[in-house]
Every structure is written in C-alpha cells, then in structure tokens.
Amino acid sequence: MTTVNWWKTLRAVPSWVYPSMLGVFLLVLPVLQPGYSVTRQVELTLILALIVSGLNLSLGYAGQLAIGQVAMYAAGAYTAGIIAMAGVTDILVQLLAAGLAALVVGILTGIPGLRLGSWSLAMTSFFLVLLVPDIVSIFEEHTGGQLGLSGIPGATLLGFQLTPTHFYLTVVTVAILWFAAFRNIIASRHGIAFQVLKQSPVLASSVGMSVFRIKLSGYATGAVPAGLAGALFANLDLFVSLEAFGFHVATGALAASILGGSVSVYGAVLGAAVVEYASSQSDSFQEYSLVFFGLFLLLGGVLMSGGVAGVARTFVARLDRAAGLVGRGPSKAGDGEAIHRIDGGLLEVTGISKAFGGNRVLTDVSLRAEPGRVTALIGPNGSGKTTLLNLVCGYYRRDAGEITLDGTPIRTAATHRIARLGVARTFQTPLIPPSITVRDVVASGRYTVEDMSFAGAILRTPRFRAIQRRDRQRADEMLRLVGLEDVADTEAATLPLGMRRMLEVARALVAEPKVLLLDEAASGLDEGEVETLAGVIRRIRDAGCTIILVEHNFGLVLSLADEIVVLARGSVLASGTPSDIANDPRVRDEYLGAGDQDVRLDDSVIAAAARQETSS
C-alpha cells in the first residue's frame, strides 16, 4: 500500500521534471570538480545522444531506417571547423551554420530516398556515409583531406573565449535545449501523426496527412541534432578527421538507438551512455565493437522492440494500473451531446469504371449522395462497394468517369488532398495505431483542420496551446457522442471491436467532414452496438453531413438509409428509397437469393423502413 502511495506521488509530478533534474545535475556537475575524464565522458555521451535522438526521430517516430546521421554529423563538424578557420569562432553562429548544413543534407537526400519504400532511404542514407571520405578529399584544401582539419581556433561566445568548463556547459545546454524541443514535438499532434503514419500510411492519408511530408519532416528534422553534435565535436578537440565519421560510428549510433529505445525521447541519452561508456572502457572493446554493435541490433530487433525505454514504459503502465491511476469501463452512448451543424457536401459519381488488370470491377457506376441524407451502398461480396469508396478517396485511379464534390471535380489527386477537401472515412477493419490513447486517436482526425508547425510545437506558442486545447475539447465532444468518454485515456488498440468501430466514426467526424464514408461500420457488432451506431449515424445525418454507408446488414440499411444504391457485379442494379428497394424483385433475386424462403424480409423491417421514410 505504501509503495502504491509512493508511486502515486511520483506520478503526480509532471513527466518532464525527471529529465530536467538530470539536466540540472549535469549543469552543476563542474562545481563538484569531477575531473577531466568525467566531463569529457559526459560531453562525448551528449554528442552521441544528439546524433541518436535524430535517429530516433527518423527511425522510431517517422518509421524510416536512416543510417546516414553520421554524414550529417560530418557535415556539421566540417562546416563548423571550416568557418572557424575562416575566423568565425562564435559558437552560436557555428551551431546555426552546422544545423543548417545538416538540414540541407537531410532534405536533399530525404526527397529521393523517401520516394520508394523503406529500404531506399536506408540505402541512400547509408550511401552518404560512404561518400564522406570522397567529398572530404575532393575539397581537400578546405577539409584537410586524409590528414584531418587541425588548428581550429577555440570557440568564443559573443566575443568571450570559452574555457573548457564553459564549453562543457555549452554542450550540456545545447543537449538540454534540443531534448526539450524534441520532447515538445513528440508531445504534440506531430508525435501522434508519426504514430498514425507508422501504423498505416493508408490511414494517415485518409485523415489528410501527407505521408511523404511527414516522413521527410521526421528525417530532415532528425538531421539537425546531428549537425549540432558535429559543431560541438569540432570544438571539443579543435580537430576534425575522417575517423570519427565511419560506418563504425554509424552502426554504433544505430545500436545506441535500438538499445535505448527508438520510439522514445530520452532513451537516446541512455543508449548513447552505454555505447560511449563501453567504447571508452578498453581497447579490446574497439576490436570487438562491430560484433557487439551488430549483436545489439540483432537482439534489440528480435527481443525488445521498445528498447530500455519500452521496458520502462511497460513497467510504468503496470504500476499505474496497480495504483488505480487508469480509469476503466465503457459507458453507454451519450444522447445528450449536441452535434454542431455540419455543412454536408453533394457528392456525385458519374459513369465511373475501374478494372484491375483484365478484371472489371466497376462499370459505368453513378450515384448521388446529398447532404443530410444517408445513402447506402449494398450488394453482394465482390460487387465493388469498397472499390467505389477507394476511388472516391483516391486510393485507386479510375479508368473513366467523374467524381464531384459540391460541383467541383475531385481529380485523381493524392489521397490526403481529397481528405482535406472534406471526405472522411472509416475502414472495414478498424485501423487504430498502437500505444496512443483513445482521445489522441480522435484528435489525430483534426490534423488538417488547423495547421500547426513544428516551430509552434517546439516553442509552445499561444496558438499551439489554443489548437491543442481545441483538439482535446472537440475530441472529448466526439467521444461523448459515441459513448466512449469513459475510456478516453485508455490505450486505444486494447478496445474491443465494437468500440474501435465507434472510435473510427469519432475520428472521421472530428474533422467535420462534408462527406462521411462508412465502410461496413456495423459488421461484427452485437445488436446493442448496432443500435447505438444507428443512433449516432442518424444524429450525424441530422446535423447535415452527407453519409455514404456500405453495409451488409440489410435490416440496418432499410431502417437507416434515405436512398439505397444496389451494386451487382460492378454495375448499379437498382437505386431508390428503402421501400422501393425492399420490394424490387431484381434485388431480391440478386442480393437476397431467388425464392429462398429463409431470407425473406421480415415484414416488420420493411414497416420500420417505411416509418423511417415518412418521419424524415
């Protein structure tokens, strides 16, 4: 019991306090006169930690294996060294120039590297490391070539010469500032966006995130700390040589990242400390270091996917549960929550066709979905319902036909652009990113509603805070609407299927879309859940949204839809009001099975459909 209380007190302290305490400790360390070897060890560790944190941003968060951080480190070091030789010794200018140089390298290599799947960035960035010696020897007169760049004048700050202690403080300060910035990026919607992207690029683009831009921003931003580390390194020994930028260092940094936990902010410090300490211990480690780094990568990848930080996180979560800090248990859908007025859009699909190779999936399909109405799309398996949704969202290119939203044609644009026009959707199999809370999942749907820059997140500007507040507020409203407010702080991926479907609806709705596409939202739900879902859909419709519902549950469709389009073998078989469709003999033949008594429609269902129609 006492342990629990003790834990509660510890957890009541905001999480950023602990790393800050480490930062303060490192800042006051010189007072204790620890000696040269200790301060040097701290400096080297922090320099490596900067490189590793860049790797974490790109590998752990943006999900891209990039091994080229060492090349950016080299770019930073040589930039700082060369401008110092030219007389610019101010450390601030050097840091700025080195950071920018690294950023440019990051952007220039990230753009081509990210065009093609995961390995191409790994390889292009790996290639960078191979190029470092070549480029250094091409510019030999500036870089010193193989011999290294020696005789760099000592760093100054605003005209004052820095003593070793001052320089130590500079290194610690730069590291603290970078880690604070890193933490602020991750603890913002950008951090959530990274998680969403990692789970599924399809999902990310469906909420309007540009997959390419997010990956690039993660990778290119990750170059900046490596550049800063380079500037610090150049001033540490006032000597820069090729030895510091080989594959050996690259794999060491990667090993530190995996060891500390790639998907973490402070794991980088831990991983860097271990690798740096081990490297400094003995010469024999140098000899075996590649074997050890390789084993770190191998074991890290196989055994503990989260690194030390991941293990710590699991432990914290367990203690939290033991201490009863996490709320549990779902609630019933809240009927009280009023939905804001939504301006639905008129979606028109005209004469659309699509074939995959020789297989014609859709032939000349047209439909019209009006604001404030539910248009249901039904048909047997393989009749092309989901394909039609995917065409609307831009996942596929159509062969012929036109799709317009409020009269403006939706070209075969990138998926995230279509999402930004106001088309939101849910998926047949709910796509929920792991290890983020229910509230954050919903908030991720607002990514496009209000733009927010990395800089805003780092500096925590008033605008950032306002947006963050609104994200949270709107997410909570949506959660109340679908009845998930009691599980808002639970890890979303642990929810049962019914709740995950509701969660997807909430995420789609939070962006206030003009058109909402629901892909088999009710499949796998029990009766009570279907009831709740139907209620929610009605209220969204009444708020003015245009809803397209792909659904197999015929009873639900009849009771919910204002307009039904029946697809069969890729063409429109019939369309009309629920009672038209329910009485259409062709639909009965095609969809429900001719003369099959067992699937005859329940009269009560038809009656319900008729009532529904008259009431709306």
Partner 1 sequence: MTLIYAGLSLGAVYALVAIGYNIVFVASRSFNFAQAQLMMIGAFVAYTGYVTLGLPAIVVVVLAMVVVMLVAAILERVAVRPVADHQTQLITTLGFGTVLTGLAQLIWGSQPLDVPFFGAKEAMTLFGGRLYSFELGLIVLSVVLVAVIHVYNRRMMSGLAIVAMSQDDEAAVLRGINVRKLAFAAFAITGLLAGLMGFFIGPKTFAVATLGSALALKGFVALAIGGFGSFYGGLAGGFVVGLVEEHAARYLGSEFSNLSVFLILILVLMLRPTGLFGQIQERTV
For partner 1, the closer CB: 298 or 455? 298
Q: Binding string, 181-210, against partner 1, x = CB under 8 A?
A: ---------------------x--------
Question: Does residue 119 belong to the site contacting partner 1 (CB under 8 A)?
Answer: yes
Report d(CA 436, CA 429) in Å as an integer: 18
**Antiparallel, parallel or unpaired: β 156-157 and 546-550:** unpaired
| CA dihedral sign of residues 307, 309, 315, 321 | negative
Query: In this chain, which of 1, 158, 336, 397 binds partner 1, going by CB under 8 A?
Result: 397
Q: Which of residues 10-69 bind partner 1 (CB under 8 A)?
A: 63, 65, 67
For partner 1, the closer CB: 97 or 103? 103
Report d(CA 416, CA 418) in Å as an integer: 5
For partner 1, the closer CB: 251 or 559? 251
Structural tokens at position 36: 């040269």
Question: Does residue 157 belong to the site contacting partner 1 (CB under 8 A)?
Answer: no
For partner 1, the closer CB: 24 or 138? 138
Query: In this chain, which of 21, 22, 34, 112 binds partner 1, going by CB under 8 A?
Result: 112
Query: In this chain, which of 45, 124, 156, 575 binds partner 1, going by CB under 8 A?
Result: 124
Report d(CA 74, CA 244) in Å as an integer: 8
Q: For tokens 């733009």, name the residue.
A: 451
CB 350 within 8 A of CB 366: yes
CB of 578 to partner 1, least distance (A): 27
Structural tokens at position 289: 């270091």
The number of residues in the chain equals 616
Report d(CA 88, CA 155) in Å as an integer: 9
Three-state SS at 505: helix
Question: Does residue 127 belong to the site contacting partner 1 (CB under 8 A)?
Answer: yes
| Closest among 117, 101, 111, 110 to 68, alpha carbons compared | 110
Report d(CA 258, CA 303) in Å as an integer: 11
**Antiparallel, parallel or unpaired: β 359-369 and 347-356:** antiparallel
Instruction: Count the alpha carbons within 13 Å of 155 in the hemisphere toward its beta carbon.
Output: 27
For partner 1, the closer CB: 137 or 583? 137
Question: Does residue 141 belong to the site contacting partner 1 (CB under 8 A)?
Answer: no
Three-state SS at 472: helix
Report d(CA 230, CA 497) in Å as an integer: 49
Query: In this chain, which of 283, 287, 527, 598 binds partner 1, going by CB under 8 A?
Result: 287
Query: In this chain, which of 104, 180, 297, 304 binds partner 1, going by CB under 8 A?
Result: 297
Question: Does residue 356 belong to the site contacting partner 1 (CB under 8 A)?
Answer: yes
For partner 1, the closer CB: 178 or 396? 396
Query: In this chain, which of 25, 34, 92, 294 binds partner 1, going by CB under 8 A?
Result: 294
Q: Which of residues 367-386 bind partner 1 (CB under 8 A)?
A: 386
CB 375 within 8 A of CB 565: yes
Q: Which of residues 524-583 bind partner 1 (CB under 8 A)?
A: none
Question: How would you class 37 by CB atoms within 10 Å of its CB: exposed for 0-12, middle for 13-18, buried for 19 or more?
Answer: exposed
Question: Does residue 291 belong to the site contacting partner 1 (CB under 8 A)?
Answer: yes
| Closest among 226, 196, 208 to 104, alpha carbons compared | 226
| Closest among 208, 198, 211 to 511, alpha carbons compared | 208
Taking contact as CB under 8 A, which single stretch among the options 76-84, 95-103, 134-142, 163-171 is the one that binds partner 1?
A: 134-142
Taking contact as CB under 8 A, which single stretch among the options 110-118, 312-320, 449-457, 464-472 is the one that binds partner 1?
A: 110-118
For partner 1, the closer CB: 93 or 202? 202
Query: In this chain, which of 302, 329, 359, 585 binds partner 1, going by CB under 8 A?
Result: 302
CB 393 within 8 A of CB 415: yes
Three-state SS at 450: coil
Query: In this chain, which of 61, 126, 179, 464 binds partner 1, going by CB under 8 A?
Result: 126
CB 256 within 8 A of CB 48: yes
CB of 573 to partner 1, least distance (A): 24
Question: Does residue 289 belong to the site contacting partner 1 (CB under 8 A)?
Answer: yes
Q: Which of residues 212-251 bind partner 1 (CB under 8 A)?
A: 247, 251
CA angle (127, 221, 188) in 5-degree steps:
140
Question: Does residue 390 belong to the site contacting partner 1 (CB under 8 A)?
Answer: yes
CB of 575 to partner 1, least distance (A): 24
CB of 393 to partner 1, least distance (A): 8
Three-state SS at 368: strand
Question: Does residue 358 belong to the site contacting partner 1 (CB under 8 A)?
Answer: no
CB 205 within 8 A of CB 416: yes
Query: Total binding residues for partner 1 by CB under 8 A?
Result: 56
For partner 1, the closer CB: 196 or 452? 196
Query: In this chain, which of 182, 396, 447, 591 binds partner 1, going by CB under 8 A?
Result: 396
Task: Provide the binding-site residues for partner 1, judged by CB under 8 A.
Answer: 63, 65, 67, 109, 111-113, 115-116, 118-120, 122-124, 126-127, 130-131, 133-135, 137-138, 202, 247, 251, 254-255, 258, 287-302, 305, 356, 386, 390, 393, 395-397, 427-428
